[in-house]
A and B are shown apart, each in its own frame.
Chain A
Amino acid sequence: MSEFEFSRNITIGQYLPTNSPIHRLDPRVKLVGGALLLAAVMFSSSGVSLALALIAVLSVLALARIPLLHALRGLWSAWPFFVMVALLQLLLYPHAQSAAQSNALWQWGPLMVTGASLYLLVILLGRLMALILLVSGLTYCTTVTELSHGTERLLRPLQRVGMPAHELALVLTLTLRFLPLLAQEMERIIKAQASRGADFGGGRWNFVQRARRTFPLLIPLFVTSLRRAEDLIQAMEARCYLGGRGRTHLIRLRAKPIDFVALGLVVAFVAILFVANFAF
């Protein structure tokens, strides 16, 4: 048990090589499919369609042989965010409207919780969960290289209108690649500070104290990131990196029949979700 292991809780950006059918899909299909599912989740406002979406996401994770507990751990570390959103939603929901729609379940001065606002809260939280699981799922099954390659190929047609496809894909790659590294960095700095008597334990619920404790970490994290970026630039230039112009790839992406099937399934599912959203 360690108070300092953060990398275990940052699940976005961590690839899990389970070699499942999902892992072997073309990254472009995963990106487009993921984006479609994401859009579907964002526009779901009914409980039924959201439940369907969540089931779908969880089944994709299961198909990818990702241990469920591991995926859920990523949700767990975002819990303060969930709490904050929940509180905001509950407290800022327009009262007049809700009072008209359902009875107040609980009232305290200007704050009011109604059945309607609770329902909307569940929707909102469900949506957040689905979002996090979806994005984590994408990075569990797709290596950073594949993601970068897929993004670049998808954006390539836009290069004619001036969009720098390769550079954008590179930005994506580096961001994903650096997330776990920054987590490790933060762990190291916190350990060093704890070794000199800083108090990081105790007060899991003391948010003000916890927030104040993060300030001494921000500067060193920033400085380290900048230094890393500089080192990376030098390393890339030393290996003759000159940008994306005329750059070829060792592995060519070729869509296989199964990729089209998978994409078709996703499109069909999103259509169903759309219908369910308005029907219920």
Chain B
Amino acid sequence: MSESANGPGPLIKVRNLHYTYSRGTPHEAVALRGVDLTVERGETVGLIGPTGSGKSTLLQHLNGLLRPQSGQVRIDGHDTGDPRADLRTIRRRVGLVFQNPEDQLFERYAGDDVAFGPRNLGLSRSEIRERVCWAMEAVGLDFEAFQDRLTLSLSEGERRRLALAGVLALKPEVLVLDEPTAGLDPRGRKDLLAWLIRWREEQEGTIVLASHNMEDLAQLANRLYVLVEGRAVLNGNPRKVFSRSEVLAGYGLETPLAVSVMHALRFRGLPVRADAITIAEAAAEIETLLNSR
């Protein structure tokens, strides 16, 4: 499989990645101990793991923010370990959305903040305006109403959407999200998930997301990696990974509610599918079961 830019082969390939924070100082902290990960074009890959397992560290390698201390990270053919790697191209293709909007918003006015990315790309003023308008509308913030609002005056949900718009304005092919639904109310969560699914379809985009929310991942992910103490201990498609509930429980991880419910029903001898992972699938199974009685 060739790994040339825009050629066949995984879009992102991480091999035996090691990373230690503050290496060589008394405050050393090993974050990643030899992680392997691949992301194919158009896939949605989920990362789960207990806090401190290295998920954020791994995500920051995917757009070249962190360079591998040992091991290799290839993004669309670019090797981020190479000192001459074209990081700006990588960061244009791979958009990283951090967990807290506060860490990403810094301009006074909302419109200016979204324009930061396109401005760094060196686009013309009219192109910048067009991108900002498109990005804000895409996340549901009306351009005319919000472009001159003070960033500080926005609500939490609006700030999150603004942060997302700021990354979208670069028109990335890959969206990397760190706990995108943490702290969102159920409505916000639902909207964001629906939006991600739409984005994925319309832009043929690739998504990598780290989340503690198993329901989100059951809905979105094609493949899951389970990260524990800096190592990928399990990977595979969500149905396979979630079926190993005892293993997951051993790492302090839960499974989606649907899985636990199906498990409990099967334990009582009822004939339901073992591999239903979303609420919708579980509901369908239960309905079938009730109708057949």
Contacts and interface: CB of A to CB of B under 8 A. Distances in A.
Interface string A58-73: 0000000001011001
Interface stretch (A93-101, A108-116, A145-153, A184-192): A184-192
A203 interface: no
Given A5-B22, A196-B117, A219 B106 contact: yes
Nearest to B83: A1
A2 B166 CA distance: 24
B170 interface: yes
A195 interface: yes
B66 A197 contact: no
A196 B65 contact: no
Contact of A67 (B26, B116, B152, B167): B26
Contacts of A199: 88, 120
A209 interface: no
B268 interface: no
B235 interface: no
Contacts of B98: 188, 191-192, 195
A217 B104 CA distance: 11
B65 A191 contact: yes
A200 to B, nearest CB: 10
A194 B60 contact: no
Contact of A197 (B21, B67, B102, B120): B120
- Which bucket holds chain B's interface residue count? 20 to 34
A246 interface: no
Contacts of A2: 66-67
B103 A196 contact: no
Contact of B103 (A1, A5, A192, A219): A192
Interface string A138-170: 000000000000000000000000000000000
Interface stretch (B5-13, B89-97, B194-202, B205-213): B89-97
A195 B96 contact: yes
B167 A195 contact: yes
A201 B60 CA distance: 16
A16 B120 contact: no
A84 B191 CA distance: 53
Contact of B120 (A8, A67, A198, A220): A198
A225 interface: no
Interface hub of B66, B98, B106, B108 (most chain A Cβ within 10 A): B106
Given A188-B103, A196-B117, A8 B22 contact: yes
B88 A197 contact: yes
Nearest to A2: B66
Contacts of B104: 189, 192
B120 to A, nearest CB: 3
Given A197-B88, A197-B120, A201-B87, A8 B27 contact: yes
B121 interface: yes
A197 B26 contact: no
Contact of A195 (B25, B95, B121): B95
B63 interface: yes
Contact of B26 (A5, A16, A191, A217): A16
25 contacts: A5-B21, A7-B22, A14-B27, A67-B26, A69-B24, A70-B25, A70-B26, A73-B25, A188-B103, A191-B65, A193-B106, A193-B116, A195-B91, A195-B96, A195-B98, A195-B167, A196-B116, A196-B167, A196-B170, A197-B88, A197-B91, A197-B117, A197-B120, A198-B120, A201-B87
Interface of A: 1-2, 4-5, 7-8, 14, 16, 67, 69-70, 73, 188-189, 191-199, 201, 216-217, 219-220, 223-224
Given A70-B25, A195-B63, 12 more contacts: A1-B69, A5-B21, A67-B26, A69-B24, A194-B91, A196-B116, A196-B166, A196-B167, A198-B116, A199-B88, A199-B120, A224-B102
User: 3 closest A-B pairs (Cβ-Cβ)?
Assistant: A197-B120, A220-B106, A196-B117
Interface of B: 21-22, 24-27, 60, 63, 65-67, 69, 87-88, 91-92, 95-96, 98, 102-108, 116-117, 120-121, 152, 166-167, 170
